[in-house]
Amino acid sequence: MKTKFSLGVLGLVSVLMCAPVTSAAAESREVVLAIDGGAYERVMRENWLKPFAQATGIKVVVVSTANPNERRAQVQAMEKSGNVTWDIFAESDVDADSPSHSERAANIDEFCKQFTSRSDLLPGACKASGVLAVRGMGAIVYNKEHFPNGGPTTWKEFWDTKAFPGVRAMPARTDAWRQLMPALMADGASANAIFPMDVDRGFRKLDELRPHVGLWWTTSDQAVQGFRNGDYDAGFMWMVLVPGLIKEGQPIAWSYNGAIVVGDRYAVVKNAPHKAEALELLKFLLDTPTVQGKICEALFCTPPSTDALAYISEEARAIMPSAEQVKSVMATPDGAWLNTNQPMLVERWNKWIQK
């Protein structure tokens, strides 16, 4: 079997039209943010960024990036050169809690104080490291045409290529936890007892699956395109990508057993050239439940405000990570453990994937 290793590409820049402005000062205001491209960007653009531009007259420049690793590298390069052009970048909650995050991101603790009395916001929706935009899940997806009688619904079944034959897809992120958490659950670890992580056990389990993996993806768009192309029959995919495939008529199904829940946190870049506008954009998100509701209706995610639930259909709410039937089977990364052990995980992954 031919295995594909997909690599990301550098970001593309687009500008959102803003509403007519009434002064030269307003006309010159802008904010630049870097996020994942593809369906995720389109949803954010239509439901958050465009309404913000129309309401404030602030121009929004979107940099479409391949993955968090690219964004971190770009921000670090900007800081080193002294030429910072981005204002906001998207990060995972795990990495936003890492010690190195403060080297790239501004501390917005003072900004967050205005939200401390907001009982509708999830704990930590606004904290020094950034603003929680959404909480999403990485879950098992499979092609219904390849599995007409039902595909794998647990990680143990996902690993069982005799009972569920077919090509697999897995992430290939260098910090490895997205690969190791499913591997450990496939080996019998319960979703709430993965940490502290038995890394040796996880890699032994990955050894079993490796011959059946036809696509190792590094960006979300690669996982989506791989499904469209038929490069794999079952895989790990972020659920925010699934609604777009459903709309295309793709034969996709999924299971939440062992789904991995991670938040997207939007951080303000250190020395951001448009910090005031960046904070205004983040405040608009937290203050506008209709915006959050539309985003999570489209992305099968959980919004930072419970008030936003009123703007999400019952069908979408049943799929969100906060739904009780999903909560009982999902796995949450231990950010403190992962950040402490990140250098070791990166080294182990690089050695393993190059074997």
Same domain flag for 169 and 312: no
Tens digit of each residue's pLDDT (9 = 90 or more) over 290-301: 999 999 999 999
Q: Tell me if 240 is assigned to some domain.
A: yes
Q: Tell me if 200 is assigned to some domain.
A: yes
Same domain flag for 203 and 284: no
Phi, psi of 200 (to 5 degrees): -60, -45
Residue 278's pLDDT is 99
Position 8 pLDDT exceeds 80: no
Same domain flag for 315 and 208: no
Give the rounded distance of the alpha carbon of 174 from its chain centre.
15
Structure tokens given for 355: 């074997």
Position 311 pLDDT exceeds 50: yes
Residue 248: which residues within 8 A CB-CB, separation 6 or more?
A: 228
Same domain flag for 121 and 187: no
Residue 125's pLDDT is 98
Q: What percent of the chain has pLDDT over 70?
A: 92
Q: Tell me if 29 is assigned to some domain.
A: yes
Same domain flag for 41 and 119: yes
Structure tokens given for 206: 């990955």
Q: Tell me if 3 is assigned to some domain.
A: no
Position 159 pLDDT exceeds 60: yes
Helix axes 275-287, 289-299, angle to 10 degrees: 80
H or E element that contains 341: none
pLDDT band at 15 (very low <50, low <70, confident <90, very high): low
Residue 18's pLDDT is 45
Q: Tell me if 125 is assigned to some domain.
A: yes
CA-closest candidate to residue 269, choices 55, 76, 86: 86
The structure's pTM equals 0.90
Rounded CA separation 348/273 (Å): 38
Cβ distance 286 to 115 under 8 Å?
Answer: yes
Tens digit of each residue's pLDDT (9 = 90 or more) over 84-129: 999 999 999 999 999 999 999 999 999 999 999 999 999 999 999 9
Tens digit of each residue's pLDDT (9 = 90 or more) over 182-206: 999 999 999 999 999 999 999 999 9
Residue 3's pLDDT is 67
Position 12 pLDDT exceeds 60: no
Residue 28's pLDDT is 80
Q: Looking at the 3D structure of the chain, how many domains does it have?
A: 2
pLDDT band at 5 (very low <50, low <70, confident <90, very high): low
Q: Tell me if 2 is assigned to some domain.
A: no
Same domain flag for 183 and 247: yes
Same domain flag for 50 and 193: no
pLDDT band at 327 (very low <50, low <70, confident <90, very high): confident
Residue 13: which residues within 8 A CB-CB, separation 6 or more?
A: 61, 62, 63, 64
Residue 100, domain extent = 8-135+263-319
Rounded CA separation 163/127 (Å): 46
Rounded CA separation 331/312 (Å): 24
Cβ distance 295 to 43 under 8 Å?
Answer: yes
Cβ burial 109-118 (10 Å sphere, 16+ → b, else e):
eebbeebeee
Mean pLDDT, all residues of the chain: 93
Rounded CA separation 324/11 (Å): 37
Same domain flag for 125 and 209: no
Same domain flag for 190 and 257: yes
Same domain flag for 229 and 341: yes
Same domain flag for 218 and 345: yes
DSSP labels, 262-297: EEEEEEEBTT-TTHHHHHHHHHHHHH-HHHHHHHHH
Q: Strands 168-171 and 234-238: what pairing? A: parallel
CATH code for the domain of 191: 3.40.190.10
Q: Which residue has the higher pLDDT, 7 or 254?
A: 254
Q: Tell me if 215 is assigned to some domain.
A: yes
pLDDT band at 6 (very low <50, low <70, confident <90, very high): low
Same domain flag for 245 and 289: no
